[in-house]
Amino acid sequence: MTAIKGIRLASAAAGIRYAGRNDLVLVELAEGSTCAAVFTRNAFCAAPVTVAREHLAAGAVRYLLINSGNANAGTGEAGLRAARETCRLLAGMAGCALNQVLPFSTGVIGQDLPVDPFAQSVPTLMQGLAEDGWDAASRAIMTTDTVPKRVSRRVDITGGTVQVTGIAKGSGMIRPDMATMLAYVATDAGVPADVLQTMLNGAVEASFNRITVDGDTSTNDACVLMASGASGCAVDALDSADGQALAAAVGDVCRELAEMIIRDGEGATKLVRIRVEGAARPDEALAVAYTVAHSPLVKTALFASDPNWGRILAAVGRAGVAGLDVDRVRIWLGDVCIVSDGGRAPGYTEEAGQAVMDSSEIPVRIDLGRGDSAETVLTCDLSYDYVKINAEYRS
């Protein structure tokens, strides 16, 4: 992990849900930093999402306050009061305005968020702030994750080298519209807030909005991009060479974090890349990709390493593509063509399909034969452990 000048982090064990592990994170942005964010589109968005949106609109963000173990979602007015009170506690101790604090929560839905652990832990967090706090923070935001997710990149732009570092959490309840995940990315470049927001929107669309574990969109999803400007290198426009270089680095960080989330999907044993090409429009390609990715029959066959290609064919056929000419559709497992001319490919053998399905990474390619649009979605298999993890989540 590369520290980002102007961004400091601290973690603490507040006992919000977990005993004996850090579950509260504070992120401090230096004066003059800019901040952008995207949030879940779930109508039952969590209280901290509502408050963070309001505060972000006011600008001049100085602190992020993140807790795991309790989502503070489905908690009504009490949840909003709790989210605002945690911001008020921090603002009072940090000497900043209330709307300069963005709250974030992840964990169990429908349980009231206790405020006392925040009051007890914020002083410790303030004292522990350090630029090298990324690793501890990546662990403190975990819930059902089995590994921390963190990525760093550097990029040369006019005036020198700038750094990009990001962390994320997410393992289940993962589906686009912010696919339960939280992600925090920072750079030491100086970037105006509007440029930063556009940069983040593009990065998220090509990364966190192209993954799915189980088709469930969380109430709490959020991704934040921060720019401290501490490097002295400025990026004032996205369409400049420097803007494109920084956007590429931010995109790389987001894509790698997104892939880490899928690799760590609850109970997952396989990473699956579903590429749909030859579509008439991008939304058509995505509709087919997600229909395949969300099919329980396809996902369980992947877990069993069973080359049951008929399940993929059936999913493509029910994706809602109007006027689909099935005779033009071709489907591959890896390099093995499994479907063409409306049925099983003439050269397909079970042995060839089995060799692909035995791998831990499985590429699925679908050509609809309708146009030039293409999209790729990452997913995983559906195992016994996914059911066990989620059946026992509140126990």
d(CA 7, CA 55): 19
Per-residue pLDDT, 342: 93
Per-residue pLDDT, 176: 52
Tens-digit pLDDT profile for residues 350-375: 999 999 999 999 999 999 999 999 99
Distance of CA 308 to the CA centre of its chain: 30
d(CA 316, CA 256): 27
Instruction: Look at the domain 7-263 and name its fold.
Output: L-amino peptidase D-ALA esterase/amidase (3.60.70)
Would you tell me how many other CB atoms lie within 10 Å of the CB of residue 347? 10
Q: What is the mean pLDDT of residues 157-177?
A: 83
Q: What is the pTM of this model?
A: 0.92
Per-residue pLDDT, 213: 81
d(CA 246, CA 185): 12
Q: CB under 8 Å to 347, separation ≥6 — which residues? A: 337
Per-residue pLDDT, 175: 59
pLDDT at residue 130 tops 90: yes
In the chain, the DSSP E strands lie at 7-12, 24-29, 34-39, 63-70, 101-108, 149-157, 160-169, 182-187, 222-227, 271-279, 330-333, 336-340, 343-344, 361-367, 373-380
d(CA 305, CA 353): 9
Q: Which residues of the chain are in CATH 3.60.70.12 domains?
A: 7-263
DSSP state of 209: G
DSSP state of 15: -
d(CA 32, CA 103): 20
Bin 69: left if φ > 0, else alpha if -120 < ψ < 50, else beta: left
Structural Rg of the chain based on CA atoms = 22
Beta partners for 16? Answer: none
Share of the chain above pLDDT 70, in %: 96
Q: What is the mean pLDDT of residues 32-42?
A: 93
Q: Lowest-confidence range among 59-68, 164-173, 237-246, 355-364?
A: 164-173
Cite the active site residues. 180
Q: In residues, how long is the chain? A: 395
pLDDT band at 266 (very low <50, low <70, confident <90, very high): confident
Mean per-residue pLDDT of the chain: 94
**Which residue is it, tokens 């604090």?**
101
- H or E element at residue 152: strand 149-157
Per-residue pLDDT, 174: 55
Per-residue pLDDT, 395: 54
Distance of CA 291 to the CA centre of its chain: 20
Per-residue pLDDT, 179: 47
In the chain, the largest separation of any two C-alpha atoms, in whole Å, equals: 71
pLDDT at residue 11 tops 60: yes
Per-residue pLDDT, 242: 98
Q: What is the mean pLDDT of residues 239-264?
A: 96
pLDDT at residue 119 tops 90: yes
Q: Lowest-confidence range among 11-20, 92-101, 235-244, 322-331?
A: 11-20
Per-residue pLDDT, 157: 96
- Thinking of the domain 271-391, which architecture would CATH place it in? Roll (3.10)
What is the phi/psi pair of residue 331, to 5°? -135, 135
Would you tell me how many other CB atoms lie within 10 Å of the CB of residue 171? 26
Tens-digit pLDDT profile for residues 199-243: 999 999 999 999 988 776 678 889 999 999 999 999 999 999 999
Q: Lowest-confidence range among 148-157, 172-181, 221-230, 337-346?
A: 172-181
Q: Which residues of the chain are in CATH 3.10.20.340 domains?
A: 271-391
Residues 161 and 185: beta-carbon distance below 8 Å: no
Per-residue pLDDT, 390: 77
Q: What is the mean pLDDT of residues 60-77?
A: 96
What's the half-sphere exposure (Cβ side, CA atoms, 13 Å) at 27? Answer: 33
Q: Between these two residues, 17 and 306, which has the higher pLDDT value?
A: 306
Per-residue pLDDT, 2: 96
